[in-house]
Amino acid sequence: METIYFKRNDMFSALFEVMLCIVLCIYIAFSPSNIALSSLYYSKVSSVAGLYLIILLITYYHGGENSILANMLQKIVIFVIMVPLALLLIKKKTFRYIKEVLLVRYVNLFFVLSLLGFIFWALSSIGMTLPSITVPYSWGGNKTASGIFGLTFNIYLSDQSFSQGLYRFTFLLVEGPIAISYFALMAVIEMSCNVKPRLYVVLFFALCVFCTFTGFGMILVAPIVALGLLTSQSVQLFKKSSYISHFSYFTIILGLVIVVPLVSLGLLSKKENTSSTELHVADFVGGYRAFKENPLLGYGIGNYTPLHEYADNGLAGTSSAFMMGLVQGGLIFVFSIILPIIISIVVMLYYRQYRLAILPVFALVFYANGLSDNSPIFAVIMALCIYYTLFLNHVQYSRLKMINE
């Protein structure tokens, strides 16, 4: 959704979402079924869709002429169509199949393509001339991007002191913060969903996060690597092999948790261009001020004006889906998104599904600072949270998990 190819204009983005929904409907209708979909389950899923539609309509009409129809339709596609379709898919193919097969395949595809893109980016960074294509796209205005073999686009130069003159590695995505979201998401899916998490996959995506050369990405690398070590079965076996390996393991984890963030903050303190940091701060400050004036229903779906009016000197962006949600739809809209995620975390922890809980925790963090609620993969994560909380037979799932392990 956030790739340059589908950000040429709003029509391309809308076409992508419509085609995605059509393909998903066809897959649900004709793919082999592990569990038959009952009329009762259809009614439950319809209730979820209806609830989101009611909430969106209330916030849309409350905003009046300040609400934008295109933004409203996009949210309807995500919450009223994509989330229910994903719930049907999860039920038909089983929660375990979606988590351990389809999502892992998604990571595999992303890994192969981003690895090729990373190699091309690295070769280009050392001065090698490679074939490229030019693609127009719209992101904060009409722009043109040069893509090496069409697999990685050099768009923004790094503003970090240690990487001056290097382009940020953003793969096929339109900017660094969004690239962070997807690279980190791949690592999180690998750690939380794969039966046997592959440490090399997690470490590669952690490297990709670092090479976006963004402040948040540099801070995020250490937690990703630490979680990768904690969830890796091979590392856990190595830890138990001797007292030395046990000591080394905890020393590395402690270093990642304490030392690496301090180093990252030290590098960030030398950053010359602080405009992106100021923009993030302005988003939260301006968003909070606007939210206080109209906390329940917001100012209208798609209305960015209050975010700018309440920010210092009119400086504000769209880096936080959480603050945008509060400004546009108020508490009623934001709670409809974050409550299923928060409840799923609590339920997962209650059933001791600690690895799986990493996924909704990630979704919550990045909803506040990155991953947009307009993204189809966010809809899939939300559907997993809703299904786990409301529809999953936890006793049966726990037994299957034990047998599998």
Q: Are 353 and 230 part of one and the same domain?
A: no
Q: Are 116 and 263 part of one and the same domain?
A: yes
Condensed to tens digits (0 to 9), the pLDDT of residues 120-133 reads 999 999 988 899 99
The residue type of 202 is: V
Q: Are 290 and 264 part of one and the same domain?
A: no
Rounded to an integer, what distance in angstroms lies between the CA atom of residue 42 and that of residue 159?
51
279 in any annotated domain: no
Domain enclosing residue 374, as ranges: 1-93+286-405
- pLDDT band, very low/low/confident/very high, at 398 (cuts 50, 70, 90): low
Q: Are 146 and 89 part of one and the same domain?
A: no
Q: Look up the pTM and report it.
A: 0.88
- Give the chain's domain count: 2
Condensed to tens digits (0 to 9), the pLDDT of residues 243-265 reads 788 778 778 877 777 776 666 66
Q: Are 262 and 298 part of one and the same domain?
A: no
Is residue 301's pLDDT more than 60? yes
Is residue 292's pLDDT more than 60? yes
Rounded to an integer, what distance in angstroms lies between the CA atom of residue 398 and that of residue 13?
39
Q: Are 227 and 370 part of one and the same domain?
A: no
Q: Are 268 and 299 part of one and the same domain?
A: no
Q: Are 322 and 375 part of one and the same domain?
A: yes
> What's residue 304's pLDDT?
81
- Cβ atoms 312, 276 nearer than 8 A: no
Q: Are 65 and 208 part of one and the same domain?
A: no
Question: What is the 8-class DSSP label of residue 150?
Answer: T
312 in any annotated domain: yes
Q: Are 89 and 112 part of one and the same domain?
A: no
Mean pLDDT across 97-104: 94
Report DSSP letters for 264-321, one per residue: HHHHHHT-S--HHHHHHHHHHHHHHHHHHHSTTT-S-TT--HHHHHSSGGG---S--H
